[in-house]
Structure 1
Amino acid sequence: MGMDTTIAPGELSSSVAGRLFRQLGLDTQYILLGFPLGLITLVLSMAGFWVGIGTMIIWLGLPILVGTFMMARGFATVERARLAPVLGRRMPHPHYKRAAEGSTLVKRVVTPVTDGQSWLDLLHGIFRFIPSTIAFVFAIVWWVGALGGLTFPLWDWSIPRGPDEQDLPMLLGLGDAWSTRVIFHMAIGFFFAGTLYPVIRGMALLEALFARGLLSGVNELREQVAEAHAARDVAQAQKSAAVSAEATALRRLERDIHDGPQQRLVRLAMDLGRAEQQFSTDPEAARATVAEALSQTRETLDELRALSRGIAPPILVDRGLQAALTALAGRCTIPVDLDAPPLARLDPAVETTAYFVVAEALTNVAKHSYASEVQVSVQRASAGLLITVADDGVGGASLAKGHGLSGLSDRVQAAGGVMNVDSPAGLGTTLTVALPL
C-alpha cells in the first residue's frame, strides 16, 4: 500500500507561519546587531583612514592605512556571513589582489591599498551606518508598538494620572472608560503587529542589499563576465569542431566517391562504348561486355547505398538508434556484443552523432585493432547518453590530430559532448562518449 503524502491545510498553514516567524526573528537579529556594528565600523574606519592619511608624510600613515583596510576586510567578512540568513544564500568570498611571489615588503604592504574590493569594504564600513540606523529605528518602533499595544492591559495601571488629567482616548471624544482606553491602544498594537513582518523584512533587505552591492556586487559581476566568456569559448570551440567535423566528412565522402563509384562509372562508360562498337562485328562479345557492365552497375549501386547510409542511414531515421546500431553490429567483421536497450526517440542530432560514434569506432576496430571481440554499450543516464566501445586489440589509439579518431572527437564536441580514449599498448582500447540530451 502506498503512503498518503497529502498535507492537511492546517499543517501547511502552520508550516508557513513557522517559516515567517523564523525569518522575522532572523531579520530582527540582523537589524539589531547591525546598528552597533555600523557605529563601531564607522568610528574605526573613519579614524583609521584619516589618521593614516594625515600621517602619511612621515611614513607612519602607511601601516595605519593598511591596517584600516585589513580591519575593514575583517568586518566585511563578518557581514557576508550575516547576509546568508537574510538573503537565503551564502555570499561568496571575493577575490582580493595579492602581491606576486618574490615581491618586496613594500609591495606586499601596499597591495591592499591598490585593491578595488578593499576600498569597497572600507566604503561599506563608513556608510553602512546609514541603512543600519534607518532599519534600527523602524525595527524598534514597530516592535515596541506591537508589544506595547498588545500588552497594554498588563501595564496600564502603572501609568500615573492626576485627577484632572485626560488621556488620548478622552481627548478624541472616545469616552473615559477603562475599556475604551484598552481597545484604543490594543488597536494600535494590532496595527503594528499586522505590519511587523513586511516592515522588518523590508528594512532587513534594505540593509542587506546595500551590503551585498558593496561587498559582493563587483565579485558577482566578475563571475558573470567570466561565465559569459567561458560560454563564448565553449560556443566557439563547438563551432570550430563542427566546421572541422564537416570538412573531414566532406573530404572522406569525396575520397570514397572518387575511389569507388566514380571509377566504376568511368569503367562502365568505357565498357558500354566498347560494346557499342562490338555489336556490329561481334555480338557475342558485345553481350559479354554488357553483362559485365551490368555487374559494374550493381556494384556501383551497392557502394552508393553504403555511402548514403553513411550520410543519413534510413534505418536510423525510420526505426531509431537501437535498430541502426543492431544493423551496424551485424555488418561488422568482428563479433560485437551490443548492449543497447530500447530508447525513446531522441533529438535527431543526438541520434546521428551516437550512430556515427559507434560506426566510426567499429570501423577503426576492424581496420587497426586486431581485436577478437568488441563490446558496445549505449545507455541513457540522467546527464545524457553514455556510449562505450571497448575492444581487446593491440591498443595505441590516440585523439591527436592526424589519427583516425580526431575527426570523431570534433563531431562529438560539436554536439556538446565529451570524448575520452583509454588505449594502453597491448591492453585494448576503450572509447567513452557522453552526449547531452
Structure 2
Amino acid sequence: MTTDTAVLPTVSSPLPPPAVRRRGVLPQLGVDTSYSLVSFPLAILAFVLVVTGLAVGTGLLVVWIGVAVLAGTLVAARGLATVERAWLPGVLGHPLPAPAYTTGTGGRVRRLLTPLRDPQCWLDVLHAVLRFPFAILSFVVTVTFWAGALGGLTYALWDWSLPDASASPDNQDLLELLGFESTAGRRILLYTVLGVVFAVLLPFAVRGAAVLQAQVGRALLTSRAATQAELGRLAQGRDAAVAAEAVALRRLERDIHDGPQQHLVRLGMDLSRAQRQLDRDPEAARTTLGEAAGLAREALEELRALSRGIAPPVLADRGLAAALAAVAARSPVPVELAVDLDEERLAPAVENTAYFVVSEALANVAKHSGATACRVAVTRIGDRLRVVVEDDGAGGAVLAPGHGLAGLTDRLLAVDGVLTVDSPRGGPTRLVAELPCG
C-alpha cells in the first residue's frame, strides 16, 4: 500500500458544529414570563432595601454604626444579585460566569469591611438601583400582552356578562368609542381579532422585555466575572505554554543524549583509535575512519530529524501544506492528506502548532495504534483552523496527564486552541484540533 502525500485542492467536508440546544417558542415564553413576573417584586425589594440601607448607613457613618449598616446592605444586595444570576442563563440562552467575591480574613473589623472593599458588591448595589425601571417595564409589557391575548381570545365566552351599553349612556365599548354601531357579533369579532394580534406579538414582546432587563443584569453582574475568567484563561494558556516547552525541551535533551550524543562520543573514540593506528596499521586506520564516517552520517541524520520535529525549514520556507506533505511522506503508516488553506500564510505560531499536532499524532499512530491507514484533513473555517487526524487502529487513546496526548493539549491551550479525541476501544480514533488563525 503506497503513501499518498499529495496536497488535495478540494475542500474536505468539515464536521458540523455541535448543536446548540434551544428551547421552543412556548417553553421560552414560559421562562421569560416567569422571569418578568418574579423579577418585579424582587426588584422592588432590592430597590427599597438598597436605597434605604445606603441612606441610613451614610447618615450613621459619624457614629460608626453606619459601617455595619452599609456592609449589611451590600451583603443583602449580593444575595439578591445571586438570585438574578440564577435566572440569566435561562433567559439569555447561554451560561454566564459567576464572579469571585473577596473572602474576608483577619479580625472581626476586617471581615466586616470586606464587602465595602469588594468592587462586585458595589456593582450588585448599582444593579439593584438601575434594574428597577427595567423590571417595571418588563412587568407591564408582560401583563399587558398576556391580558390582551387571553382576554381577546376568550371574549366570546364572557361577553354576555358585561353590562348592556343601553342601560347607561356612559357605558361604551371600543366600537362605540370609535364611532361604530356596537352589536354582540361585532364586539366578539373585534376583540377576537385583537386577541389574535396580541397572541402573535406576545412571544416577541415578552422576549424583548425580558432580554432587555437580563442584559442589564449581565452587564453589571457578570461582566467583571467574564474579565476574571479571561484573565484566568490567559494565565492557564501561559502556564500551558511553559509546560509544553519544558516537556519539549526535556524530550529534546533525552533524544540528543540517546541519539546524536552517543554517536558523537563513539565518533571521537574511533577518530582517536584511527590516529593511533595510522603509523603501525594504516589499513585498520582506514577501516576505522570508514566506520567514523558512517557514525557522522547517522548523527547528522538524527540531528536533521530532531530539527524537523522542532521547526522544519520547509515550514518556514514553503508553508504548512508543504511541511505536512513532508511529514506524511515520512510516516510508516500510509497517510491520505487533504489541505484546504488560503494562499495567504498563517501566523508562525499557528503553523508551528498545527505542524506539531499532525507530527505528534502521526507518531502516536505509528507507535501505538496498529493502524494500516490514516487520514489528515486541515481546513480553515472562518477565523479557525481545524485539524482532523483519523486512523483505523485499535483505539483507546485518552486525554489524561501522563499520556501521549497531554503534550498536544498543552501546546494547543497555549495558542487558545482546543483538542478533542474520540477513540473507543477497538477503534477507530479521531483527533480534532481547533485553533484561532489570528
TM-score w.r.t. structure 1 length? 0.62
Distance in 1 between residues matched to 2:230 and 2:109, nearest whole Å: 33
Distance in 2 between residues matched to 1:22 and 1:247, nearest whole Å: 60
| RMSD of aligned alpha carbons | 4.4
SS in 1 for 2:104: coil
Change (3 A) 1:412 1:356: farther
Report the Cα offset of residue 354 of structure 1: 8.4
- The worse-fitting range, judged by mean Cα deviation, of 71-80 and 218-227 is 71-80
Task: Please give the per-residue CA displacement for 1:181-217, whole angstroms capped at 9, x wherever unaligned.
Answer: 3222211111110011121112112222212222222
Aligned match of 1:230 in 226, 230, 236?
Answer: 236
Report the Cα offset of residue 140 of structure 1: 1.2
Residue in 2 that maps onto 1:383: 398
Change (3 A) 1:306 1:316: farther
Residue in 2 that maps onto 1:74: 79
Distance in 1 between residues matched to 2:291 and 2:36, nearest whole Å: 86
Report the Cα offset of residue 267 of structure 1: 5.7
1:174/1:180 contact within 8 Å kept: no
Residue in 2 that maps onto 1:423: none
Distance in 1 between residues matched to 2:410 and 2:91, nearest whole Å: 43
Residue in 1 that maps onto 2:136: 133
- The worse-fitting range, judged by mean Cα deviation, of 186-195 and 62-71 is 62-71
Distance in 2 between residues matched to 1:152 and 1:69, nearest whole Å: 48
Residue in 1 that maps onto 2:348: none
Residue in 2 that maps onto 1:374: none
Change (3 A) 1:291 1:239: closer
Asked if 1:195 corresponds to 2:201, the answer is yes
Report the Cα offset of residue 44 of structure 1: 1.3
1:81/1:90 contact within 8 Å kept: no
Counterpart amino acid of residue 125 in structure 1: A
Report the Cα offset of residue 116 of structure 1: 0.9
Report the Cα offset of residue 26 of structure 1: 1.9
Aligned match of 2:359 in 348, 359, 362?
Answer: 348
Asked if 1:45 corresponds to 2:58, the answer is no
1:138/1:200 contact within 8 Å kept: yes
1:124/1:215 contact within 8 Å kept: yes
Q: How does 1:105-144 map to 2 (within 5 A)?
A: 105-144=108-147
Distance in 1 between residues matched to 2:88 and 2:328, nearest whole Å: 58
1:354/1:387 contact within 8 Å kept: no
Change (3 A) 1:380 1:316: farther
2:275/2:285 contact within 8 Å kept: no
Task: Please give the per-residue CA displacement for 1:142-194, whole angstroms capped at 9, x wherever unaligned.
Answer: 11111111112122231431276764445657665433332222111111100
Change (3 A) 1:141 1:191: same
Aligned match of 1:320 in 309, 321, 333?
Answer: 333
Counterpart amino acid of residue 77 in structure 2: A
Asked if 1:148 corresponds to 2:141, the answer is no
Distance in 2 between residues matched to 1:65 and 1:39, nearest whole Å: 19
Q: How does 1:264-303 map to 2 (within 5 A)?
A: 264=270, 289-290=282-283, 293-294=286-287, 296-298=289-291, 300-301=293-294
Counterpart amino acid of residue 55 in structure 2: W
Change (3 A) 1:111 1:257: same
2:50/2:129 contact within 8 Å kept: yes
Change (3 A) 1:57 1:379: farther
Residue in 1 that maps onto 2:28: 23
Task: Please give the per-residue CA displacement for 1:76-97, whole angstroms capped at 9, x wherever unaligned.
Answer: 2222223343234565543221
1:45/1:126 contact within 8 Å kept: yes
Residue in 2 that maps onto 1:432: none
| Unaligned ranges ≥5, structure 2 | 1-20, 307-326, 335-356, 369-392, 414-430, 434-438
Change (3 A) 1:385 1:125: closer
Change (3 A) 1:219 1:320: same
Counterpart amino acid of residue 347 in structure 1: V
Report the Cα offset of residue 292 of structure 1: 6.2
Change (3 A) 1:412 1:146: closer
1:81/1:91 contact within 8 Å kept: no
Change (3 A) 1:311 1:205: same
Distance in 2 between residues matched to 1:137 and 1:42, nearest whole Å: 18
Distance in 1 between residues matched to 2:331 and 2:97, nearest whole Å: 51
SS in 2 for 1:347: helix
Distance in 1 between residues matched to 2:410 and 2:185, nearest whole Å: 80
2:259/2:299 contact within 8 Å kept: no
Tell me which structure has the larger Cα radius of gyration: 1
Distance in 2 between residues matched to 1:238 and 1:293, nearest whole Å: 46
Change (3 A) 1:249 1:89: same
Counterpart amino acid of residue 332 in structure 2: R
Change (3 A) 1:203 1:415: closer
Residue in 2 that maps onto 1:161: 165
TM-score w.r.t. structure 2 length? 0.62
1:238/1:416 contact within 8 Å kept: no
**Greater relative contact order: 1 or 2 (C-alpha under 8 angstroms, separation 6 or more)?**
2
Distance in 1 between residues matched to 2:120 and 2:146, nearest whole Å: 36
Change (3 A) 1:356 1:29: closer
| Unaligned ranges ≥5, structure 1 | 1-14, 275-284, 322-345, 358-377, 389-407, 418-434
Distance in 1 between residues matched to 2:249 and 2:207, nearest whole Å: 54
Change (3 A) 1:248 1:43: same
Counterpart amino acid of residue 111 in structure 1: T
Residue in 2 that maps onto 1:308: 301
Task: Please give the per-residue CA displacement for 1:280-300, whole angstroms capped at 9, x wherever unaligned.
Answer: xxxxx9xx8447624652575
SS in 2 for 1:319: coil
Change (3 A) 1:189 1:175: same
Task: Please give the per-residue CA displacement for 1:343-374, whole angstroms capped at 9, x wherever unaligned.
Answer: xxx922344478899xxxxxxxxxxxxxxxxx
Report the Cα offset of residue 57 of structure 1: 0.6
Report the Cα offset of residue 49 of structure 1: 1.0
Residue in 2 that maps onto 1:363: none
